[in-house]
Structure 1
């Protein structure tokens, strides 16, 4: 299969996935238990008052018309208005997305700089202290939930100080110093789990490559360990590592709810949590769709890069994950 045809099939599959995901998101939001009119008007509201609120929010239109209106608005950048606060969802996203994006970006950089070398060390020195240390760190990082890590970090900072503080967020244009300092602790908490996941997957990927016949042949030819790692291991182990990193990008953009809530950071996660409590459909469906788009696009880019690194993936129709 040619690389152009393979890439076009991947892009087409990604587009179909997004269409299906948008339908599921739209349907799931409207099947959620509870009604936002109960939160806005209270339990003593009359049927006439409820009907008026529903009509003003456009929820009295046919369901297909509501879906098409939402999708067309997504393409034009019009995500609608919050049913509760009547604030533009796009404007709120423009304010909060850079905060979550900064957290995700720095976390991914830290993960790559720490997790991949740690995984390589654990695989190449699996019998030594480096391998044992890498396995221990990975196990601890994966097993500890984010809310426990966040609470532990808050306790340490509150007890020891360390020049950091919980909360005190300020926009970048108001106080750049406070903006970056308020993101340090969320990044630390998220990086621990991400480093553990990447290190574990890197170790497994490298160890799987080390037992392949072409690596054994390189050892038999007398090639140096450094040459073998650079020319035989790195490229073949890159595909599963990239897959994990791509998934983490999507998770970080859409799943930082707990960390943002604990450290009082006004990002996308905390915004989505508030919208879920209010049954604010416009915010929920747009935020979840954004996370889905990031995940699908990241997966597509990872597939394309992995295919460039290992053309054998076109023959198997998948990726070495």
Structure 2
């Protein structure tokens, strides 16, 4: 047990170092963009004195390491600064938008798990049959090949012209009308989940097919165990760790795909908030949004890795070698 605990503590340390590196990349990458906030606000005809005054007002004339230290120290306490454009604290905006983006991502992730995993298992188990798995392979191929920025406008056009009742564009707060929010996010979540379901089904199928050829499966068949018992106790348990790892990858994909879907469907989430801030070079908005996405990704992956150690203790044993 001490070895597992040591491995978990090591993963938590790696998580902290990763977040530190991500914050450095986020901060300094923004400063490498051409122009600056003062150029966006004042325009190209502003004098050098006006640019200098704007930079001094927002502390942009200080050395970069001083700016980073002030931002990182505030981020640790939950103070992400004030939006340079709207003059509203970034944390307040994130608190309003996080339920929308979180609900969208959770709906898409639930679809990937509830549809993609069973479809992948069924396709993998039927892979030895001549006609088995054709539908699953077709769905996986279509889902992987159609990106959100193509599927989203197509779905939006069909719904706006041919269908109604989904409430697209009329979002309510999660605390006020959770059913209305979920109803309005059905189509965006479906677009976001389409490729996730395909990737999950395809990967699960490959994992199941790999487990089926293992010697212990052959031994279970030779012992006369029932097919469902073999699937439940041998195939699913040995496929759990790769599927958990896949869910971590899908989480990163959802965080990136949510930016496209929120932009296409005009959803006031964190993704659209970040795109707006990036276009205006609003440093506080972009830094907070990207850091939040990176933190969620790192934390979720660390949690899945820790969960994998309890599903299969061999994971932590391999990590200590």
Tell me, in whole angstroms, the C-alpha distance in 2 between the residues paired with 1:121 and 1:206.
Answer: 9
Contact 1:169–1:264 (CA<8 Å) still a contact in 2?
A: no
Q: How far off is 1:286 after superposition?
A: 1.2
Task: Tell me how far 1:164 sits from its aligned partner.
Answer: 2.6
Alignment-derived partner of residue 189 in structure 1: 191
Q: Secondary structure at the match of 2:133?
A: helix
Partner of 2:227: 225
Pairwise mapping of residues 23-38 of structure 1 onto structure 2 (< 5 A)?
Answer: 23-38=24-39
Once the two structures are TM-superposed, the CA of residue 226 in structure 1 deviates from its matched residue by 0.6
Query: 199, 208, 215: which one pairs with 2:217?
Result: 215
Contact 2:99 2:174 in 1 (8 A): no
Deviations 1:205-224 (A, max 9, x none): 11111111111111121111
TM-score when normalising by structure 1: 0.94
- How far the C-alpha of 1:10 sits from its partner, in A, is 1.1
CA RMSD of aligned residues (A): 1.7
Q: Is the Cα contact below 8 Å between 2:123 and 2:133 reproduced in 1?
A: yes
Alpha-carbon offset, residue 180 of structure 1: 3.0
Preserved CA contact (<8 Å) 2:192 2:257: no
Per-residue CA deviation, residues 155-182 of structure 1 (Å, 9 max, x unaligned), is: 2212321433532333345655543332
Q: Is residue 311 of structure 1 aligned with residue 319 of structure 2?
A: no
2:283 is equivalent to residue 281 of structure 1: yes
Task: State the distance in 1 between where 2:215 and 2:78 align.
Answer: 52
Instruction: State the match for 2:240 in structure 1.
Output: 238
1:94 aligns with 2:95: yes
Structure 1 unaligned regions, length at least 5: none
Q: How does 1:112-123 map to 2 (within 5 A)?
A: 112-123=113-124
Unaligned runs of 5+ in 2: none
| CA distance in structure 2 between the aligned counterparts of 1:57 and 1:298, rounded to whole angstroms | 34
Instruction: State the TM-score, normalizing by the size of structure 2.
Output: 0.94
Corresponding residue number in structure 2 for 1:42: 43
Q: Which residue does the alignment assign to 2:301?
A: 299
- Asked whether the 8 Å contact 1:107–1:187 carries over to 2, the reply is yes
User: How far off its partner does 1:130 sit?
Assistant: 4.5
Distance 2:115 2:130 in 1: 19
Distance 1:25 1:137, change over 3 A: same
The residue that corresponds to 1:74 in the other structure is 75
